[in-house]
Structure formats: C-alpha cells, structure tokens
Chains A and B, each alone.
Chain A
Amino acid sequence: MTAIVVATVVGALCAIGTYLLLQQDLVRVVWGLSLLSQAANVYLLAMGNILPAGPDAVPVLAGHGEPPSGVTDPLVQALVLTAIVIGFGMTAFALFLSYRVYQEHGTLALAELAEADEAGDRR
C-alpha cells in the first residue's frame, strides 16, 4: 500500500514538474526544476528499506550497546539530506538568476529570450 502511494506521489511530482518545465514563463520553469528534484528526493527515500540492525548494516551501531531489532536504512536518508541541501541551493540560485534575466531583458517569456539568443548569434 505504502509502495503504491509513494509511487503515485513520485509520478505526480514528476508529471507536474515536467509540465511546469515546458511552460513559457521562467519562474514556472524554476518551479518545475524544483518539483523535479523533489520527486527525485522522494524516490531516493523510497529506495531504502528496513534492515536487521547491527554493525554490518549500520556501522555506527557498533559499540553502542545492544542494537534494536530493525532499523530503516540510514544510507538513503543521508543521501536525501545531501540532495535536499544541494537542491535548495540550486533552486535559490535559479530564482536569483531568473531575476537577473528579468533585469537584463525586461521579460521572463522564454520565446522572447530565445529570440534574443538568435539575434545574439547573428551579431
């Protein structure tokens, strides 16, 4: 059951993210990128499972008394934490960059920016 819910969530996030990514507005594109990386994070979190506790599975547990009977895989959680931090930084940077694009071009419409690109090549 959980598996189905998680799969649906990942699928929905990916779909919405992709939809936003294909929009004409730069800010929506940034939202799309952000949702897509969140989808990847949720997916990553779903890749772990319950492990038998012990130093073989979770090295930190060695030397900390009697381990509990089962633990969730700590590796994926560490990975997701790192990925979230990187994703936040990148989203902030992309937002900032879209502001700078607006300052330079006076527009956030992708079609007009693409025109500017072609004009730039023709210089």
Chain B
Amino acid sequence: MSVIASWTQIPAAIGAEAASTLVVAPLLIALVTAVASLLSGRWHRGRIGVSVLGALAYLLAVAAIDWYIVLAPDAPGIATYQVGGWVAPFGITLVVDGLSAFMLTMVAVIGMASLLSSIRVLPDLDRHRYYFPLFHFLMVGVTGAFLTGDLFNLFVWFEVMLMASYLFVAYDGNALQTRAAFWYVSLNLVASAVFLLGVGGLYATAGSLNMADLSRRLAEPAAYGIDPVPVVGLFGLLLAVFAIKAGLVPFQFWIPSAYQAAPPQIAALLAGATKKVGIYAIIRLSFTVVGDAPVDVSLAVPFTGFEMAGDSPLVFVGAALFAMAIASIFVGGLGAIGGRSIESVLAYSSIGQVGFIALPVAIAAVVPGLRTFGIVAALVYALNHTLAKGLLFLAVGAVRTATGTSRLAELGGLAGRSPSLAVPFFVGLLALVGIPPLSGFFGKFLVFDVAARTASSALVVVVVAGSVLSLVYATRLWTRSFWGPQSTAVETAVADHVQAAVLLALALAIVGVGVGFEPVYAFAEAGAEAALDADAYVEAVDPADEVSTGSGGDH
C-alpha cells in the first residue's frame, strides 16, 4: 500500500535542464564505477561493493530516464545533452529517446544480474582483479553506443565495447580462448576498417556525421546538393558491420566459439547487450537516418516473381535483412540441435533468435503500413531474448559452479538434484520456445502476427519452422541435462544460493513481463514511434539552422 502511495508521489515531469543531465548519467556512472573499481587495488571487498553499487546506480539512472523522459504522462519523449556546450552538428550529442531507453533498460537489468552472478564464480579474487573494471568498461561502451547522436562516435563506442569483450573472450587464457579471441579480434578489426570506409564515404557524400543532421540532409538532398544514391551503397557497408555485431548469417561464424570461450556470465551480457547494440544501430540508422532519402527502387526477388518497389533505401535494407534473418533462423536452429554443451546450444540458438528479431525489422522496412508494429515486435522479441538467453547463460555459469562441467554428455538428472537451478532454467527454455504467459509468448506472437499480416505464406512458414527448431533444441537441452539418471558430476552438485537467487529473479521477471505485458507493450511502442519519428529526433538534436548560426554570432 505504501509502495503504491509513494509511486503516485513521483513527480511526472522535470525541467529540460535536469532531463539533459539525466541523459549523460548512465554513461558517467558506468565510467566512474569502472575507474573506481580499478583504483581499489587489492581491496577486493571494496571493489565488489563499488561494482554492485555502481550497477545499482546505473539501474536507477536508467529507470529515471525511462520515467521522466519516455513514460511519464507529460514526458518530453526525447532529451539531448550537448557535450561541452558545443551544439550539434559540430559538437558531440548524446540523445535519449524511447528506442535507446528501451535498449538501456534491457542492458541495465541483464548487467545487474550478470554482475551479481559473477561475484560468486571468482573465488580467487587476486587473479581476477580486472574482471569488474572490464565489466564496467563493457557497460560504458554499450551505453555510449545507445546514447550517441553521431556516426563516428558510434564507431568509437563500438571499439570501447569491443576492447572489453576481446579481453573477456580471451579471459581464461587457454588454447580454446586464445584461438576464439584471435578469430573474434581479426573479424572485428576488418569490420572496424569497413565501418571507417562507410563513415568517411558518408561524410564526403552528405557532408555531416551527426545523425540528426544527416537525416535532415538526406530527406531533402536537393536543398543540400547531395546525391542520395551513393548513400545507399555506403549504408550497405555499415549494415554489414552492424550485422556482424548482431551475429546475423552470413556473419555469424565467430559467435559459437566466442560465446563458449567467454565466461558464461559475460556470454549472457554478450548475447543480451552487445548483440542488441547491432540491432539498435540497424533500426536507428535505417529508420531515423536514411529512411527518408528519396531513392526510387524497384527490386525483383529472384525465382519468386515477387517485386519490391518503393521510394526509399529502406527497400534495400529490407531485402538484405530478409535474406539474413531467414538464413539466421535456419542456421542457428539447426546448429543448436547438434550442440554438445549447454553453451554451444545456446550460442547457436542466439543466432536463430536474432533472426527472429531481424525479420520483423525487415518487414517494417518493406511494408510501410506495418512499420510501427514491426519494430514493436522486434523490440519485444529482443527483450525476451535478453531476459531468457541471459537467464540461460547465467544458468550455465551456475551449473558449472555446481558440477564443474556444462557438457551434455556429462550432465543428466540435474532436476532431481537441484530444483533451484532447474525451475528457472525451465522457465527460460519455455520463454525461448514461447509458451504463455511468459515474455516469450508475446515476442513470438507479435512476430507471427506481423508475418501473417504481410499475407506472405512463405514468411509464416519460416517463422513456424524456426519455432519448431527452437522447440526441438530446447527439449533436447532439457532432457539431456536436467532429466534422466544423475551422472557422477551431478550427484555431488550443490547449487550456489546467490546464483540460484539471481536466476529465480530473472525467471520472475520473465513471468512478470508476460503477465503485466500492457506497460511493456506501451514502452516498446514508444520506442518504435521514436525510431520512426525522424522529425522529432532532428528537432530535438539540432533545432533548425537559424538557431545554431544565430548563437554563433554572439561570440
């Protein structure tokens, strides 16, 4: 009762100044936490305390952003922070709108869970002195990528995020880890070079790198003397880079080895957070930035007689995403069925799941009438994937702590030995498959709905086949590891209480999202509308030319 009373007392609005400060808060909190945990030297308790407090503060800051900037009755919907007082398009702009707030919320939740779970698996803390600083630097990179308002800063934040993740993939330093890390680093260095080529080309063609400025220029290319056609090709380069980050087929090959090499707690973060950075960048750039450029397109799909036509580069984005999403669903699903350890099944499964996220985005790009709905479906599915896959990877960590292994051949009968691990794991699997009333049900349902509304039976078949594949590998995972006779490793297993509690909390969150789906849907819809409302984005970041040139004269 008192909780409800205090909830209603939350003021519904704050000033523009405060909103602007709020934008930069998560980034600063993560950075300060990273540095503070680095400075705590050999005082391990202090470092753990700082880490948890920092993650908690991050969570609160993101919650405040969600409420004051996006969800409150008279929230502005979008807020900006111009770094150093240099206004866009010259300065570095940080922007929060519904889309980035939605993504930040997912990352904050899974980050907290992963951190709490990590504390229990690092008994030899002196060896793991850099684990927590690295963890927070990873969060800094992810947060920066969601907040940044210009393309080159997106590149820089990607690199910040990647540097931390490279070290995590190589973390245990064994043969498998060094190999996986080398593939991962090489691929991402090539991707970074391609990213730079795309950014440089866009700057030379369109004359700006600020996303709002780019969006305005590309919407009226004639007024700025831009030829929008080369932009489509350059954007294609960027799309490939983002697809690598998201792990879409044909750029998926690094995922299984990297996810198996990284500590499971970090794999939860890689699947839950860094993958979403790729998805976020695809949605933001496709719909907010290049979506309005006038380019006449007529694209025949080979062998089907189907033709995609339109007047924006989104048709190309849609075509590419369709191919990548459908291939991902099958490659991931089939690969997961053959996995030999829990994390290899989960790694392949997350390739398939990201296909399920990309498919509604592709539909949104091609069918203008389904635009908002398609992005909502993608966001809800992404949320489910973050929660369920995060839970499952953290469960791998808990199973390893308890039994010392995660290979399917050495597991069996965990359900009888340790119900506190089995129940959340089962919930996570059900969410992945999409059983009501869990969050996964709505994710799958919305994707089905969007595919059905395109009136293309082929798409519906793909979605159904993908769901059947996920059912198969989820069943296999469950029967091999949790059912059956107890193996020798399982007989003596004792689940860690804190890890089990984190899993239970995530399982409750999955159920909670499913049962109280209304506000989640409203949030996702706010995110989709923010992604599509390029005018509001431009207006918020760079309010009209006259103003910026006018203030320049005051100096």
Residues of A within 8 A of B189 (CB): 33, 36-37, 90, 94
- Say whether B224 faces chain A, with CB atoms less than 8 Å apart: no
Q: In the bound complex, do residue B200 and residue A47 qualify as a contact, i.e. CB atoms below 8 Å apart?
A: yes
A94 and B196 in contact (CB under 8 A), knowing A86-B159, A100-B170, A101-B179?
no
Distance, CA A26 to CA B197, complexed state (A): 24
- Taking the nearest CB of chain B, how far is it from the CB of A96, in angstroms? 10
- Say whether A19 faces chain B, with CB atoms less than 8 Å apart: no
Q: In the bound complex, do residue B552 and residue A90 qualify as a contact, i.e. CB atoms below 8 Å apart?
A: no
Q: Mark B408-440, 1 if CB is under 8 A from A, else 0.
A: 000000000000000000000000000000000
Residues of A within 8 A of B185 (CB): 90, 93-94, 97
Known: A36-B190, A94-B189, A113-B179. 18 other contacts (CB 8 A): A33-B186, A36-B193, A37-B189, A44-B199, A47-B203, A56-B552, A75-B203, A79-B199, A82-B156, A83-B155, A83-B196, A86-B192, A90-B159, A90-B185, A101-B178, A103-B178, A104-B179, A121-B340
Which B151-170 residues have C-beta < 8 A from chain A? 152, 155-156, 159, 163, 166, 170
Distance, CA A123 to CA B176, complexed state (A): 12
- Say whether A89 faces chain B, with CB atoms less than 8 Å apart: yes
Q: In the bound complex, do residue B552 and residue A62 qualify as a contact, i.e. CB atoms below 8 Å apart?
A: yes
Q: Mark B173-191, 1 if CB is under 8 A from A, else 0.
A: 1111011011001100110
Q: In the bound complex, do residue B179 and residue A117 qualify as a contact, i.e. CB atoms below 8 Å apart?
A: yes
- Say whether B201 faces chain A, with CB atoms less than 8 Å apart: yes
Q: Which residues of B approach A to under 8 Å, CB–CB?
A: 86, 90, 152, 155-156, 159, 163, 166, 170, 173-176, 178-179, 181-182, 185-186, 189-190, 192-194, 196-197, 199-201, 203-204, 209, 257, 340, 344, 407, 549, 552-553, 555
Residue of A nearest to B152 (CB): A79
- Say whether A98 faces chain B, with CB atoms less than 8 Å apart: yes
Q: In the bound complex, do residue A39 and residue B193 qualify as a contact, i.e. CB atoms below 8 Å apart?
A: yes
- Say whether A55 faces chain B, with CB atoms less than 8 Å apart: yes
- Say whether A53 faces chain B, with CB atoms less than 8 Å apart: no
- Taking the nearest CB of chain A, how far is it from the CB of B160, in angstroms? 9
Q: Which residues of A approach B to under 8 Å, CB–CB?
A: 21, 26, 29, 33, 36-37, 39-41, 43-44, 46-48, 55-56, 59, 62-63, 75-76, 79, 82-83, 86-87, 89-90, 93-94, 97-98, 100-101, 103-105, 113, 116-117, 120-121, 123
What is the total of A-B residue contacts with beta carbons within 8 Å? 111
Residues of B within 8 A of A104 (CB): 173-175, 178-179
Q: In the bound complex, do residue A100 and residue B163 qualify as a contact, i.e. CB atoms below 8 Å apart?
A: no
Residues of A within 8 A of B170 (CB): 97, 100
Residues of A within 8 A of B178 (CB): 97, 100-101, 103-105
| Chain B contact surface mostly | helix
Q: In the bound complex, do residue B549 and residue A56 qualify as a contact, i.e. CB atoms below 8 Å apart?
A: yes
Residues of B within 8 A of A97 (CB): 166, 170, 178, 181-182, 185
Residues of B within 8 A of A83 (CB): 155, 196
Can you offer 29 A-B residue contacts whose CB atoms are under 8 A? A21-B190, A29-B186, A36-B190, A37-B192, A44-B199, A47-B201, A47-B203, A59-B552, A62-B555, A63-B555, A76-B200, A86-B156, A89-B163, A90-B192, A93-B163, A93-B166, A98-B182, A101-B179, A101-B182, A103-B178, A104-B173, A104-B179, A113-B179, A113-B182, A116-B175, A117-B179, A121-B344, A123-B340, A123-B407
Residues of A within 8 A of B90 (CB): 59
Residues of B within 8 A of A39 (CB): 193
Q: In the bound complex, do residue A44 and residue B200 qualify as a contact, i.e. CB atoms below 8 Å apart?
A: yes
Q: In the bound complex, do residue B340 and residue A41 qualify as a contact, i.e. CB atoms below 8 Å apart?
A: no
Residues of A within 8 A of B186 (CB): 21, 29, 33, 94
Residues of A within 8 A of B204 (CB): 47-48
Distance, CA A97 to CA B44, complexed state (A): 28
Residues of B within 8 A of A29 (CB): 186
- Taking the nearest CB of chain A, how far is it from the CB of B545, in angstroms? 10
A37 and B182 in contact (CB under 8 A), knowing A82-B152, A100-B170, A123-B340?
no
Distance, CA A88 to CA B481, complexed state (A): 45
Residue of B nearest to A82 (CB): B156
- Taking the nearest CB of chain B, how far is it from the CB of A11, in angstroms? 12
- Taking the nearest CB of chain B, how far is it from the CB of A88, in angstroms? 12
- Taking the nearest CB of chain A, how far is it from the CB of B190, in angstroms? 6
A40 and B152 in contact (CB under 8 A), knowing A93-B185, A94-B189?
no
Q: In the bound complex, do residue A26 and residue B190 qualify as a contact, i.e. CB atoms below 8 Å apart?
A: no
Q: In the bound complex, do residue A43 and residue B152 qualify as a contact, i.e. CB atoms below 8 Å apart?
A: no
Distance, CA A93 to CA B166, complexed state (A): 9
Residues of B within 8 A of A113 (CB): 179, 182
- Taking the nearest CB of chain B, how far is it from the CB of A9, in angstroms? 14
Q: In the bound complex, do residue A59 and residue B200 qualify as a contact, i.e. CB atoms below 8 Å apart?
A: no
